């Protein structure tokens, strides 16, 4: 049996309806890259109860059903109130119903040692959940590059390799490719302002922007990446490596959760 990976959904209005969903490229990367069964996790159910907030028991129930958690990217941003800031004027795209699930889910998953992998928004969620802060407009910070995609290009152009990152010597990412630097794509307008305590940098852009990190004292596998390794992951050694590593951690968690060896043939 493949491990089950819970994938956090975006919550947004579409054609007069509330939709919970995930872009297919993330689902494909979990299914093929991590060799896992992706299962979508909805945000809070705004259409039923706008005041609903996830109780601890709901988070525990989710984690009892899955072997790992994947936090995909999104056009929306983490609400700035979660890291002590005021909304930019005009406000940037937000998804409070995803925030309501993802932030407590991250903290509880880390406590329980559930494998956790965040990409783009998921990277930012992990930093905020652990006590870090964000630049709401990274591209307005002195000395920082504009890390946003060129919206005038087609998808191929937007997700093309954009800049190099320096991989931390002795880190997980450097170990996957055996190289000190790697070229990545870049499609984000926000970024880490203050890294949360107990987070170890795995990669930085040449302008100093943190592009990947791990939570060093968590009992299970965890990784956060600001770029988009899910995009055609099979064409890139580092992208293939991170999804393979995540899948391996999810399989180990599944074996432990299901009692190990239960499905092996006799003899």
Instruction: With a cut of 90, say whether residue 262 has pLDDT above it.
Output: no
Say which of 20, 97, 120, 202 is annotated catalytic. 120
Extents of the domains making up the chain: 4-257
Say which of 168, 174, 202, 230 is annotated catalytic. 230
Q: What mean pLDDT is reported for the chain?
A: 93
pTM over 0.85: yes
What gap in Å lies between CA 94 and CA 38, rounded to an integer? 24
Average pLDDT score over residue span 98-104: 95
Average pLDDT score over residue span 82-100: 94
> Residue 36 in contact with residue 100, Cβ under 8 Å?
no
Catalytic site residue 228? Answer: yes
Pick among 3.40.50.880, 3.30.1490.20, 3.40.228.10, 1.10.645.10: CATH of 4-257: 3.40.50.880
Say which of 20, 97, 147, 228 is annotated catalytic. 228
Please give the DSSP secondary-structure letter assigned to residue 227: S
pLDDT digits (tens, 9 = 90+) for 200-249: 999 999 999 999 999 998 999 999 999 999 999 999 999 999 999 999 99
Q: In the chain, where does DSSP find H-type helix?
A: 24-28, 56-65, 96-112, 121-129, 155-158, 172-177, 237-257
Q: Which band of pLDDT confidence, cut at 50, 70 and 90, is reported for residue 257?
A: confident
What gap in Å lies between CA 5 and CA 69, rounded to an integer? 5
Q: Which band of pLDDT confidence, cut at 50, 70 and 90, is reported for residue 58?
A: confident
Phi, psi of 196 (to 5 degrees): -65, 155
pLDDT digits (tens, 9 = 90+) for 221-233: 999 999 999 999 9
């Amino acid at each position: 049996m493949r491990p089950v990976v819970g994938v956090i959904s975006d919550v947004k209005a579409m054609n007069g309806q509330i939709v919970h969903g995930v872009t297919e490229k993330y689902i494909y990367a979990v299914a093929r890259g991590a060799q896992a069964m992706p299962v979508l996790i909805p945000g809070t159910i705004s259409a039923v109860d706008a005041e609903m907030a996830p109780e601890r028991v709901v988070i525990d129930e989710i984690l009892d059903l899955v072997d790992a958690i994947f936090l995909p990217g999104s056009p929306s941003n983490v609400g700035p109130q979660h890291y002590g800031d005021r909304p930019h004027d005009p406000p940037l795209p937000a998804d409070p119903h995803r925030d309501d699930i993802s932030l407590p889910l991250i903290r509880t998953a880390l406590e329980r040692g559930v494998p956790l992998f965040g990409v783009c928004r998921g990277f930012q969620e992990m930093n905020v959940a652990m006590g870090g802060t964000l630049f709401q407009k990274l591209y307005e910070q002195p000395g920082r590059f504009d890390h946003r995609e060129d919206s005038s290009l087609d998808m191929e152009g937007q997700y093309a390799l954009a800049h190099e990152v320096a991989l931390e010597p002795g880190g997980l990412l450097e170990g996957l490719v055996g190289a000190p630097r790697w070229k990545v794509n870049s499609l984000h307008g926000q970024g880490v302002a203050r890294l949360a305590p107990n987070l170890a940098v795995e990669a930085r852009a040449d302008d100093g922007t943190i592009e990947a990190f791990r939570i060093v004292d968590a009992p299970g596998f965890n990784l956060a990446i600001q770029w988009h390794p899910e995009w055609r992951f099979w064409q890139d050694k580092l992208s293939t490596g991170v999804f393979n590593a995540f899948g391996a951690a999810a399989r180990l968690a599944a074996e432990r959760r299901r009692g190990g060896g239960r499905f092996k043939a006799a003899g």
